[in-house]
A and B are shown apart, each in its own frame.
Chain A
Amino acid sequence: MRRKALGYALSVCVLLVIEVSAASQLRFCLHSNPKTFNPLMVDDDASEAVRYLTGGVLVRLNRRSQLLEPELASSWRVSGNGRSITFTLRKGVRFSDGTPFDANDVAFTMKSLMDPALHSPIGDAFRSAQGEIATATSGDSKVTISFPAAVAGLDKLFDQVAIVSSRSPMKERAVLGPFTVSEYKAGSYLVLQRNPNYWKKDGAGHPLPYLNSIRLDIEQNRELELNRFRRGEIQLINAVDASAFDQLKVQSSSAAIDAGPSLDSEEMWFNQVPDAPIPAYKRAWFQQKEFRQAISSAINRDDLVRIVFHGHAASAAGPVSPANRFWFNSNLKPVAFDPTAATKLLAHNGFHMDGSILRDGEGHAVEFSILTNSGNTSRNRMAAMIQQDLGALGIKVNIVTLDFPSLIERMTRTFAYEACLLGLVNTDLDPNSQMNIWLSSGENHQWNPAQTSPATAWETECDRLMRAQASATNLQRRKQIFDRVQELVAEQQPFIYLVHKNSLSAIANTVRGADPVALSPQTYWNIERISLLSEGAAK
């Protein structure tokens, strides 16, 4: 009898242990296999997620306050007009395998990052000019990194640099972040275990992170991801679309969270490439500022927000989303829907109605195609709504959906398109990350890329301003200059900005401490402070 009772008690204990360990494992999905576990080589979303969860950085951008906070560096100082930065490091920090962390690791990381043979995508952000980057250590806890020319927003770039060990035999598998990779089955899942040597503690002195482990299931299908969330198999979804969000909201209002406008934008633009294989009279329309302004005025952005995004978006005024609190130019307002003003603008430029068809001064019917990528429901719907809005002005719009490679081919090589509707994913707050968009020589200056010299006066001005903001070290001065760039873009409408989608996420009610924001990674940016309740406790 006593033996039976003992056995029963033991099995209850085992069950409890299993439940506790399962309860402290957070689960969510990655949408592809990570391409690399080397934090210096990250170039895809899945690898970036792993880097965020495992990598230790010198400074971290607080996704809520959008301010830099000390991490492995207890303090830092930018000097030489943005040409060098000195970090003072925390003492007593160890990598996950127990190897001590010091200034040599920072120097080693920077040297590896800037090694031309490595082709690190993160390293490119630091390459302000030709020349070597020098690192100088002073004792174990001070390191100065000097660049050949000023790097704007230098300290913020270190949010992306996960420090790797110069001595550990485990190389990049030895990490300084809250978790370490413990198991990986390609195409299936990835398990991260708590880093036993993680340096951070909460206010009460408890070691962080709270979670024991994280299981990242690799799931490409968003609908299946949503179903798994509903079944309680995963606890977080970083980004859900508007219709799925509304369904979730109905089922469990606390699970669906709208964190407001994200940094991403949806926009359309006209092809202004001088030698693009399109009729000359169409190119002439597209190069007219007034034509672009008229099209912009004729699009009902409020309807796009209400119908396509179910209200979970904001009409866009320009390239910077209001989510980017510092760099957003609050003087800019979205272009108001005003078909009458659009008609007047067009009439002023020689366009006239012929029955129900709008014609230009030479009698050509105004008709163009809008190219977008296939399989993106919201973009197809936006295109259909724009088609009807412009149809009211007598403009015939043909919508063409192409697979992504064919679309990119037309957009970047053959330039055989008239207008394009796409989105821009922004992960960086600093305008320097948009240099290749706004410089007329930039490859992503989509309406007329890679110009040898600026085609228009306003693009010359834009080039000058972007270079000026990049070389200015005073943040307020940079802001002033970039505000002017935003005003130029709003006036010229090379990109007709439509909406900024909201950052919509799903968080199970068993998750505590999550504080979703618009910046990536929206739901788990404060992963160290996230914990899990058991189902029963949550109820």
Chain B
Amino acid sequence: MKRVSAIAIGVIAIIFVCSLGGSVFAPAGHAKQFRENPNSPPSSRFLLGTDELGRDRFARLLFATRVSLLLAPAAAALSTLLAALVGTVAGFLGGLWEKLSMVAIDVFLSLPWLFLLITVRAMLPLNLSPSLSVVITFALLGLLGWAATARVVCAGVRSIRSSTFMLNARAFGCSPQRLVAIQLIPNIRPVLQAQFLVSIPTFILAEANLSMLGLGVPEPLPSLGGLIVELENFSTLNSQLWRLAPVAVLALCVGALQIVKGINEAQI
């Protein structure tokens, strides 16, 4: 099991390192338009050919992977942190606090998050640089994606709260702060880890969804979602299979993350 997990982590690491070395592997850059070569097939100059505007697909794929693999985990960390806070407080205090938190979570889950995202994004200043805009998009995903995880965390904390070792600790006069720090957090950590790993592909795909609506990462920056949107004209794919590279990278990343998550859960 550990070996499979190591291979999965290795795959993600290799993809990530390659994406960081974008300027070495594809010196043309992700934004430069070679207008004399639009839609060209793979060649020694452009390993995955060029897109509609003559931009190097390989350079764009590397940069997009970097964006997604850096920012999706950051968004997942943000949402897991928020979920940990809300879930732990609700689960640990119980009673009215738990009920109120659950109502808040239900309300949050019932919100049409896509419309919420679109609305929030429409209110952002227009002259944000593309990089900042990407960071904000993922931050929004993180800020809006905590509710389902909070419910799982709350259930985990509730079960730990009523466990024998917590009763014993309380009986020995352990303070609530110490109970949380020493007993609760170490025991809830595997749940948080699993939720973190689940959230990463969710956010990569959420960005892809936003890109489908044209509201993801702005030009000229690429993202995995944005590159997948370019496949919408699927009738030409048969003869241009190299255009599926973003799907392959996304599948590889999500698959590897799922394997790591599965093994983590098995170890719990």
A binds B: yes
Bound-state CA distance A400–B127 (Å) is 8
Which residues of chain A are within 8 angstroms of B128 by Cβ–Cβ distance? 398
- Per-residue CB contact flags for chain B residues 225-252 toward chain A (1 = under 8 Å, else 0) read 0000000111110000000000000000
Interface residue? A78 (CB, 8 A): no
Which residues of chain B are within 8 angstroms of A308 by Cβ–Cβ distance? 52
Interface residue? B27 (CB, 8 A): no
Kindly provide the distance from the CB of B83 to the nearest chain A CB, expressed in whole angstroms.
28
Bound-state CA distance A243–B215 (Å) is 22
Kindly provide the distance from the CB of A418 to the nearest chain B CB, expressed in whole angstroms.
7
Which residues of chain B are within 8 angstroms of A398 by Cβ–Cβ distance? 126-130, 133, 218
Within 8 A of A (CB), among B135-190: none
User: In the complex, are the beta carbons of A247 and B53 less than 8 A apart?
Assistant: no
Interface residue? A402 (CB, 8 A): yes
User: In the complex, are the beta carbons of B53 and A381 less than 8 A apart?
Assistant: yes
User: In the complex, are the beta carbons of A227 and B235 less than 8 A apart?
Assistant: yes
Given A244-B233, A247-B236, A401-B215, also A418-B35 (CB < 8 A): no
Kindly provide the distance from the CB of B192 to the nearest chain A CB, expressed in whole angstroms.
34
Bound-state CA distance A303–B52 (Å) is 12
Kindly provide the distance from the CB of A225 to the nearest chain B CB, expressed in whole angstroms.
12
Within 8 A of B (CB), among A354-388: 367-369, 371, 373-376, 380-381, 383-385, 387-388
Within 8 A of A (CB), among B20-38: 31-33, 35, 38
User: In the complex, are the beta carbons of B126 and A371 less than 8 A apart?
Assistant: yes
Which residues of chain A are within 8 angstroms of B121 by Cβ–Cβ distance? 402
Bound-state CA distance A374–B232 (Å) is 15
- Per-residue CB contact flags for chain A residues 389-426 toward chain B (1 = under 8 Å, else 0) read 00000000011111100100100000011100000000
Which of the listed residues A376, A383, A399, A409 has the most CB atoms from chain B within 10 Å of its own CB?
A: A399
Bound-state CA distance A368–B128 (Å) is 10
Interface residue? A338 (CB, 8 A): no
User: In the complex, are the beta carbons of B215 and A369 less than 8 A apart?
Assistant: no
Interface residue? A214 (CB, 8 A): no
Interface residue? B42 (CB, 8 A): no
User: In the complex, are the beta carbons of A385 and B33 less than 8 A apart?
Assistant: yes
User: In the complex, are the beta carbons of A387 and B122 less than 8 A apart?
Assistant: no
Which residues of chain B are within 8 angstroms of A417 by Cβ–Cβ distance? 126
Bound-state CA distance A460–B53 (Å) is 41
Interface residue? A211 (CB, 8 A): no
Interface residue? A307 (CB, 8 A): yes
Interface residue? A223 (CB, 8 A): yes
User: In the complex, are the beta carbons of A384 and B235 less than 8 A apart?
Assistant: no
User: In the complex, are the beta carbons of A388 and B33 less than 8 A apart?
Assistant: yes
Interface residue? B214 (CB, 8 A): yes
Which residues of chain B are within 8 angstroms of A230 by Cβ–Cβ distance? 235
User: In the complex, are the beta carbons of A403 and B33 less than 8 A apart?
Assistant: no
User: In the complex, are the beta carbons of A368 and B127 less than 8 A apart?
Assistant: yes
Bound-state CA distance A383–B233 (Å) is 20
Given A385-B33, A400-B126, A403-B118, also A374-B213 (CB < 8 A): yes
B53 interface neighbour in A227, A367, A384, Cβ under 8 Å: A384
Bound-state CA distance A74–B130 (Å) is 62
Interface residue? B10 (CB, 8 A): no
User: In the complex, are the beta carbons of B220 and A416 less than 8 A apart?
Assistant: no
Bound-state CA distance A384–B31 (Å) is 9
Within 8 A of B (CB), among A336-368: 367-368
Kindly provide the distance from the CB of A251 to the nearest chain B CB, expressed in whole angstroms.
9
Which residues of chain B are within 8 angstroms of A418 by Cβ–Cβ distance? 126-127
A374 interface neighbour in B214, B220, B234, Cβ under 8 Å: B214
User: In the complex, are the beta carbons of A307 and B220 less than 8 A apart?
Assistant: no
Bound-state CA distance A369–B54 (Å) is 23
Which residues of chain A are within 8 angstroms of B35 by Cβ–Cβ distance? 303, 306-307, 385
User: In the complex, are the beta carbons of B122 and A406 less than 8 A apart?
Assistant: yes
Which of the listed residues A387, A417, A418 has the most CB atoms from chain B within 10 Å of its own CB?
A: A387
Which of the listed residues B33, B122, B215, B219 has the most CB atoms from chain A within 10 Å of its own CB?
A: B219
Which of the listed residues B52, B126, B235 has the most CB atoms from chain A within 10 Å of its own CB?
A: B126
Which of the listed residues A380, A398, A417, A418 has the most CB atoms from chain B within 10 Å of its own CB?
A: A398
Which residues of chain A are within 8 angstroms of B119 by Cβ–Cβ distance? 406
Interface residue? A29 (CB, 8 A): no
B220 interface neighbour in A223, A371, A375, A387, Cβ under 8 Å: A387
Bound-state CA distance A399–B236 (Å) is 28
Given A307-B38, A369-B127, A406-B122, also A401-B33 (CB < 8 A): no
User: In the complex, are the beta carbons of B215 and A367 less than 8 A apart?
Assistant: no
User: In the complex, are the beta carbons of B215 and A374 less than 8 A apart?
Assistant: yes
Which residues of chain A are within 8 angstroms of B31 by Cβ–Cβ distance? 388
User: In the complex, are the beta carbons of B127 and A223 less than 8 A apart?
Assistant: no
User: In the complex, are the beta carbons of B122 and A403 less than 8 A apart?
Assistant: yes
Bound-state CA distance A150–B204 (Å) is 61
Closest to A388 in B: B33
Bound-state CA distance A145–B214 (Å) is 50
Which residues of chain B are within 8 angstroms of A399 by Cβ–Cβ distance? 130, 218-220
User: In the complex, are the beta carbons of A403 and B215 less than 8 A apart?
Assistant: yes
Which residues of chain A are within 8 angstroms of B32 by Cβ–Cβ distance? 388
User: In the complex, are the beta carbons of B126 and A401 less than 8 A apart?
Assistant: no
Interface residue? A295 (CB, 8 A): no
User: In the complex, are the beta carbons of B235 and A247 less than 8 A apart?
Assistant: yes
Kindly provide the distance from the CB of B229 to the nearest chain A CB, expressed in whole angstroms.
9
Closest to A384 in B: B219
Bound-state CA distance A380–B214 (Å) is 9
Interface residue? A226 (CB, 8 A): yes
- Per-residue CB contact flags for chain A residues 281-304 toward chain B (1 = under 8 Å, else 0) read 000000000000000000000010
Bound-state CA distance A368–B118 (Å) is 22
A401 interface neighbour in B38, B52, B129, B214, Cβ under 8 Å: B214
11 contacts between A and B (CB under 8 A): A308-B52, A368-B127, A374-B213, A374-B214, A375-B213, A381-B53, A384-B219, A388-B31, A388-B220, A403-B215, A409-B122
Query: Beyond the given A368-B127, A385-B35, A406-B122, could you list 19 further A-B residue pairs with CB under 8 A, ordered by the A residue number?
Result: A223-B234, A243-B233, A243-B236, A247-B235, A247-B236, A367-B127, A374-B214, A374-B215, A375-B214, A398-B129, A398-B218, A399-B130, A400-B126, A400-B218, A402-B121, A403-B118, A406-B118, A416-B126, A418-B126
- Which 8 A-B residue pairings sit nearest by Cβ, starting from the closest? A374-B214, A406-B122, A369-B126, A375-B214, A384-B219, A399-B219, A401-B214, A400-B126
